[in-house]
Amino acid sequence: MPRVEIPPGLATFAGGQQEFELPGATVQEVLRALNEQFPELGSHLLRPDGSLRSYVNAYVNDADIRSLAQLPTPVASSDTLTLVPSIAGG
Partner 1 sequence: MTITREALETIRAHAERGYPFEICGLLVGKLVEDERRIHEAWPIENAWEADPEERARLLASLGKGPDSKSAEEWDAYGEGRRFLVSPRDVMLAMKRARSLQMDLLGVYHTHPNHPAIPSGFDRDAASPGWSYIIASVIDGKVAACRSWELEETGKQFLEEEVRILD
* Interface contacts to partner 1, rule CB under 8 A: 5, 7-12, 18, 44, 53-57, 59, 62, 64, 82, 84-90
| Coil/strand/helix, residue 37 | helix
Q: How far apart, in whole angstroms, are the C-alpha atoms of residue 66 and residue 72?
A: 10
Minimum gap (Å) between residue 75 Cβ and partner 1: 16
Minimum gap (Å) between residue 69 Cβ and partner 1: 18
Contact 73, 2 (CB under 8 A): no
Query: How many residues comprise the chain?
Result: 90
Q: How far apart, in whole angstroms, are the C-alpha atoms of residue 72 and residue 3?
A: 17
Nearer to partner 1, 76 or 88 (CB): 88
Minimum gap (Å) between residue 1 Cβ and partner 1: 20
Nearer to partner 1, 11 or 68 (CB): 11
